[in-house]
Amino acid sequence: MSETIERIKCLIIGSGPAGYTAAIYAARADLKPVLYTGMEPGGQLTTTTEVDNFPGYPEGIDGPTMMVQLQQQAERFGTQVRIGMVTNVEFSDEVGGIHKVTVDNSTKIEAETVIISTGATAKYLGIPSEQKLRGGGVSACAVCDGFFYKNQDVAIVGAGDTAAEEATYLANICRKVTMLVRKDYMKASKAMQHRVNNTKNLEVLYNTEVDEVLGDTVVEGLRMVNNQTGKKEEIAITGLFIAIGHKPNTEIFKGQLDMDDTGYIITKGKSTKTNKPGVFASGDVQDKEYRQAVTAAGTGCMAALDAERYLATIETEVTA
């Protein structure tokens, strides 16, 4: 018995702001997109309680509601949103070639274009109290959530450039920022270290790790431990920011798409084009610099436009 394989014009992998925006534009261009949500429908924003910095929401909106609305908008124009996880891909090297995709290890799809919007996952410490209070004062994005802690005492964990940048950002709006560095030195560039050291309301504690995040439903404090002496100390804070990096969700694309040394997909110039014709990448899966919902949405738009133009070029060559 032969297996039926579905052929589609535009397959979108991932359902965050990038994926849904790509779907909206692709559907309006009559590409009849099919979007697979992945294991976390809606992406990272579904774990964010308040989104205040996305244009068009003057009163703010909670992340899950925003993602439901984006899905509804994509479906309004004809996007097929399907629950499922892409488990294998075989991308063609040929212009006009067909890309083979497997969903949930069973469903076979052939796609003329593929838009990858699988995002990146923030790294957390893995402490039970930290996981319990995610969305209740524990955050992995100071730029996203720092505003809610204006004139309050907060802590941040990390030692690299991103941690240093977020720590100084928080220091501009918070009363005091305590920065926990696991080793006896920072990995951040000298320029960023100087900025940290010259910020008066920012205290750096070296050889210090999180022992416990304190609070039942919201963050009320932090118990720290010196990993050299074993001494523990508690401080009162209302927010804890984790800045120890992100991991792009690109595992299944390795060996086929060009990536940097940390696994982010490399796109060509100012486009969303990858090294495979007809395969495009948008959102945090290719952006380790900004990592905002609005920038992800912007590249989702770009990916759909790139896909539309690619298909138009192929059709022109076929009919020429």
Catalytic residues: 141, 144-145
DSSP state string for 65-126: HHHHHHHHHHHHTT-EEE---EEEEE--SSTTPPEEEEETTTEEEEEEEEEE---EEE----
Other beta carbons within 10 angstroms of residue 184's beta carbon come to: 10
What is the C-alpha to C-alpha distance for residues 317 and 94, in angstroms, rounded to an integer?
14
CB 242 within 8 A of CB 139: yes
Torsion over CA: 135, 163, 271, 98 (sign): negative
Q: Which residues contact 116 (CB under 8 A, 6 or more apart)?
A: 13, 14, 253, 257, 265, 274, 279, 280, 281, 282, 285
Of 17, 115, 111, the closest CA to residue 71 belongs to 17
Q: Name residue, tokens 């040394």.
A: 261
What is the C-alpha to C-alpha distance for residues 294 and 165, in angstroms, rounded to an integer?
20
Q: Which residues contact 209 (CB under 8 A, 6 or more apart)?
A: 157, 180, 182, 224, 225, 227
